[in-house]
């Protein structure tokens, strides 16, 4: 249930019998020829598709994340780690005040990992709550599906190229060799752009839509199972 399609009375009613909410986390950053909003689009859609039959409210995606390494690419906006964790903390606090006790964070961007650390700290400060931090793209079943389709997959490659993240225009057809990830992590933003070029970390730019739908379905099923449980005991 998209929170944008609900009014406050509906949320109040929901909270009378349940306490689970979904918070998608995204990023606004270069994805080679794909949308700058890939991570936000995928996190929010994954959250909505997985939660839909369960009737869990899905809050709007946090469309900015932590992505300092891509700052030399126009359109990329990065929040500082302290700003980011402060925002996520305020959102969790808000959910708690409203009466939510189980919170499913659906993360769509690796750089947002500090929110995962924050979540464990936040639970220690809020006994009786349970927060799951879920990276949809590298969860075991989804990652296995990626490997089965094509093991050469990475940031801004085919594995992020869905009909809902694709832009009009032609993408390169060759397979880009995998970059040296460890070396890239030691580069400043300008060097990163120089070395990385278009922004794809490695792999084909596009694959068959049927394969992409199968990957998406795997992700939705895996995410939905985790939303359903098991959940730690909570107190209201």
- Pick between residue 38 and residue 51 the one whose CB is nearest to Zn ion: 38
Q: Are 23 and 106 in contact (CB under 8 A)?
A: yes
- Pick between residue 57 and residue 65 the one whose CB is nearest to Zn ion: 65
Total binding residues toward Zn ion, as defined by CB under 5 A: 2
CB of 36 to Zn ion, least distance (A): 10
Which stretch of DSSP H or E encloses residue 92?
A: helix 81-98
Which stretch of DSSP H or E encloses residue 131?
A: strand 130-135
Cα-based angle 90, 91, 96 (whole degrees, multiple of 5): 95
CB of 106 to Zn ion, least distance (A): 14
- Pick between residue 38 and residue 146 the one whose CB is nearest to Zn ion: 38
CB of 155 to Zn ion, least distance (A): 5
- Pick between residue 122 and residue 162 the one whose CB is nearest to Zn ion: 162
- Pick between residue 53 and residue 74 the one whose CB is nearest to Zn ion: 74
- Pick between residue 30 and residue 85 the one whose CB is nearest to Zn ion: 30
Q: Are 188 and 215 in contact (CB under 8 A)?
A: no
CB of 109 to Zn ion, least distance (A): 6
User: Residues 26 to 45: which contact Zn ion by CB under 5 A?
Assistant: 38-39
CB of 56 to Zn ion, least distance (A): 24
Residue given tokens 């500090």 in the structure block: 114
CB of 51 to Zn ion, least distance (A): 21
| Nearest by Cα to 45 from 215, 196, 230 | 215
User: Residues 182 to 201: which contact Zn ion by CB under 5 A?
Assistant: none
User: Residues 91 to 110: which contact Zn ion by CB under 5 A?
Assistant: none
Residue with nearest beta carbon to Zn ion: 39
Cα-based angle 44, 178, 155 (whole degrees, multiple of 5): 10
The CA distance from 207 to 224, in Å, is 25
Taking CA atoms, 227 is separated from 94, 131, 163, 176, in Å, by 20, 11, 25, 35
The CA distance from 186 to 189, in Å, is 10
What 8-state DSSP symbol labels residue 156? T
CB of 125 to Zn ion, least distance (A): 30
Tokens of 185: 């992590």
- Pick between residue 39 and residue 44 the one whose CB is nearest to Zn ion: 39
Binding footprint of Zn ion on the chain (CB under 5 A): 38-39
């Amino acid at each position: 249930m998209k929170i944008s399609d609900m009014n406050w009375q509906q949320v109040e009613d929901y909270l009378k019998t349940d306490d689970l909410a979904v918070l998608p986390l995204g990023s606004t950053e270069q994805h080679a020829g794909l949308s700058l909003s890939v991570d936000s689009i995928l996190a929010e859609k994954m959250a909505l598709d997985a939660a839909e039959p369960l009737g869990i409210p899905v809050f709007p995606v946090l469309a900015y994340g932590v992505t300092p390494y891509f700052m030399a690419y126009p359109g990329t906006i990065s929040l500082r780690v302290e700003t980011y964790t402060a925002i996520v903390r305020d959102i969790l606090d808000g959910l708690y005040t409203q009466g939510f006790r189980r919170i499913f964070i659906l993360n769509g961007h690796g750089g947002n990992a500090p929110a995962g650390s924050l979540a464990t700290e936040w639970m220690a400060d809020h006994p009786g709550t349970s927060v799951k931090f879920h990276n949809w793209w590298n969860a075991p079943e989804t990652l296995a599906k990626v490997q089965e389709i094509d093991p050469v997959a990475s940031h801004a490659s085919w594995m992020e190229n869905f009909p809902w993240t694709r832009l009009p225009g032609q993408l390169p057809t060759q397979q880009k060799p995998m970059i040296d990830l460890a070396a890239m992590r030691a580069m400043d933003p300008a060097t990163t752009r120089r070395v990385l070029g278009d922004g794809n970390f490695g792999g084909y730019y596009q694959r068959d839509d049927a394969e992409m739908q199968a990957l998406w379905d795997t992700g939705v099923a895996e995410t939905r199972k985790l939303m359903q449980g098991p959940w730690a005991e909570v107190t209201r």
